[in-house]
């Protein structure tokens, strides 16, 4: 934890959360990773009452909504602790995509939506998913959507094909981004966010998409979905019609802080494993691997890069807190591609130091390598964020783009 961003409140809470993770989660992690997630989920839900007692439940929410009322910089640092294990965020009800969906429902949900969908989500009784990306459209250009929601009296009829709808398997509902006004002059006013219960006859989960050979299940999966004329009340729309992209952008700023600090938690875990391996593995009689200068270089580079990434993210979080998301747009773009690349480098180095063990499922490193390669793609590929950052900077220098 960075001392310059630390608070007494955060220190006390972090101590409890870390102790819980070390006692209840880390000892079971390898066993859980080798079991079907739907079996693991039963155990994780059994731990949630203990997790609540730490004060870290719904860590990103204000006190009025059942959270601890932390600042964004405090939430970020707590998120790095939870990110040290694949199950940390889930057990505290801080997992994506539910965390982002909860924030949307809190701000834009009608009283009826809050009662039907938000309340059980806050209690951890149900899960949700977010359905935006389409296989037929480039995800790097979010205004290009083929899924349509056509008004029919007091209902919308939704038809379209989505994929990488994370955690749809077993979810109670999806928030679907669909075009409601294809003729809107402003392309960013074409789409709306609409809730579709997953038991709707028009909600068809085609498959859990294999990621590097692993399809997963339950919360730990990415689904392909067809909306075959799913009919839902107009009252299931979030906010006003055409406001979908505005809501998506509001979700993305703090969401990227959460993502990046989770990645830093993964980096710290991989770094710890790398250092332990360097000390314990002998390459000759009485000669540990850590004596090799190339291994020392990997460790030094990783330590510097993780520290730099952490401070970049906390700086972005502080700027969002103090000046708002728009003022921090450059920082938000920068942390997305910078931290995602550091994540890939650190995990790769840790695997290299572990040798053959690192690429087996006997180590958590292979899991991270497989599951987190997507960090450089989802939430906007690196190239899009680099372009956005560079163009924004050059505009400030007077270049017309």
Residue 303 has pLDDT above 60, yes or no: yes
Output the pLDDT for position 300. Answer: 98
Residues 286 and 357 in one domain: yes
Asked if residue 298 belongs to a domain, the reply is yes
Residues 326 and 382 in one domain: yes
Residues 18 and 133 in one domain: no
Query: Is residue 130 within 8 Å of residue 166, measured between CB atoms?
Result: yes
Output the pLDDT for position 18. Answer: 96
Residue 386 has pLDDT above 90, yes or no: yes
Residues 80 and 48 in one domain: yes
Residue 336 has pLDDT above 60, yes or no: yes
Asked if residue 20 belongs to a domain, the reply is yes
**Count of domains forming the chain:** 3
Domain boundary among 220, 240, 260: 240
How many Cα atoms within 13 Å fall on the side-chain side of residue 399? Answer: 8
| 57: confidence class by pLDDT, cuts 50, 70, 90 | very high
Q: How far is CA 107 from CA 152, 154, 234, 247, in A?
A: 26, 23, 18, 9
Residues 228 and 271 in one domain: no
Asked if residue 119 belongs to a domain, the reply is no
Output the pLDDT for position 4. Answer: 63
272, β-bridge pairs: none
Residues 208 and 259 in one domain: no
pLDDT, averaged across the chain: 94
Residue 139 has pLDDT above 80, yes or no: no
Residue 22 has pLDDT above 80, yes or no: yes
Beta-carbon neighbour count of residue 16 at 10 Å? 14
Residues 91 and 19 in one domain: yes
CATH code, 191: 2.40.110.10
Residue 357 has pLDDT above 70, yes or no: yes
Residue 2 has pLDDT above 60, yes or no: no
Question: Do the strands 128-131 and 173-179 form a parallel or antiparallel pair, or are they unpaired?
Answer: parallel
Output the pLDDT for position 253. Answer: 77
Asked if residue 113 belongs to a domain, the reply is no
Residues 229 and 173 in one domain: yes
Domain boundary among 192, 212, 240: 240
Asked if residue 337 belongs to a domain, the reply is yes
Q: How far is CA 323 from CA 72, 97, 315, 327, 390, in A?
A: 12, 26, 12, 6, 21
Which has the closest alpha carbon to 61: 51, 71, 53, 48? 71
Asked if residue 114 belongs to a domain, the reply is no
Asked if residue 103 belongs to a domain, the reply is no
Q: What is the pLDDT of residues 230-288, one digit of tens each?
A: 999 999 999 999 999 999 888 777 889 999 999 999 999 999 999 999 999 998 898 99
Residues 265 and 309 in one domain: yes
Q: pTM value?
A: 0.93
Residues 160 and 29 in one domain: no
Whole-angstrom distance, CA of residue 166 vs CA of residue 219: 7
Output the pLDDT for position 329. Answer: 92
Residue 3 has pLDDT above 70, yes or no: no
Residues 70 and 15 in one domain: yes
Residue 205 has pLDDT above 90, yes or no: yes
The mean pLDDT of 156-171, rounded to a whole number, is 97
Residues 282 and 149 in one domain: no
Whole-angstrom distance, CA of residue 123 vs CA of residue 75: 19
Least confident of 67-71, 191-195, 246-250: 246-250
CATH code, 291: 1.20.140.10
Output the pLDDT for position 378. Answer: 86
7 or 196, higher pLDDT: 196
Domain boundaries, position 256: 245-396
């Amino acid at each position: 934890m960075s001392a310059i961003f630390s608070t007494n409140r955060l220190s006390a809470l972090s101590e409890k959360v870390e102790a819980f993770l070390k006692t209840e989660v880390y000892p079971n992690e390898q066993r859980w990773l080798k079991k079907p997630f739907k079996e693991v989920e039963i155990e994780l839900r059994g731990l949630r009452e203990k997790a609540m007692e730490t004060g870290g439940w719904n860590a990103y929410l204000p006190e009025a909504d059942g959270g601890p009322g932390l600042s964004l910089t405090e939430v970020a640092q707590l998120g790095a602790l939870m990110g040290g294990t694949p199950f940390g965020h889930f057990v505290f009800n801080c997992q994506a995509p539910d965390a982002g969906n909860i924030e949307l429902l809190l701000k834009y949900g009608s009283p009826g939506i809050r009662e039907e969908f938000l309340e059980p989500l806050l209690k951890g009784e149900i899960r949700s998913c977010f359905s935006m990306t389409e296989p037929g459209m480039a995800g790097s250009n979010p205004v290009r959507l083929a899924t349509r929601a056509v008004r029919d009296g007091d209902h919308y009829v939704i038809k379209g094909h989505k994929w990488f709808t994370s955690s749809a398997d077993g979810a109670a509902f999806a928030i679907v981004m669909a075009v409601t006004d294809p003729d809107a002059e402003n392309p960013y006013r074409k789409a709306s966010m609409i809730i579709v219960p997953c038991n709707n006859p028009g909600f068809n989960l085609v498959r859990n998409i294999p990621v590097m050979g692993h399809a997963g299940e339950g919360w730990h999966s990415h689904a392909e979905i067809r909306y075959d004329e799913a009919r839902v009340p107009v009252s299931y729309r979030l906010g006003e019609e055409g406001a979908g992209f505005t809501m998506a952008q509001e979700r993305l700023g703090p969401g990227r802080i959460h993502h990046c600090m989770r990645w830093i938690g993964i980096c710290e875990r991989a770094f710890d494993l790398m250092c332990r391996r360097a000390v314990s593995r002998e390459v000759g009689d009485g000669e540990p691997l850590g004596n090799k200068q190339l291994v020392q270089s990997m460790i030094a580079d990783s330590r510097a890069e993780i520290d730099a990434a952490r401070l970049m993210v906390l700086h972005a979080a502080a700027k969002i807190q103090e000046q708002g998301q728009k003022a921090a747009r450059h920082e938000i773009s920068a942390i997305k591609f910078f931290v995602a690349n550091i994540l890939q480098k650190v995990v790769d180095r840790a695997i290299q130091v572990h040798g053959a063990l690192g690429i087996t499922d006997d180590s958590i490193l292979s899991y991270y390598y497989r599951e987190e390669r997507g960090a450089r793609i989802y939430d906007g590929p690196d190239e899009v964020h680099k372009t956005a950052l560079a163009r924004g900077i050059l505009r400030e220098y007077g270049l017309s783009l």
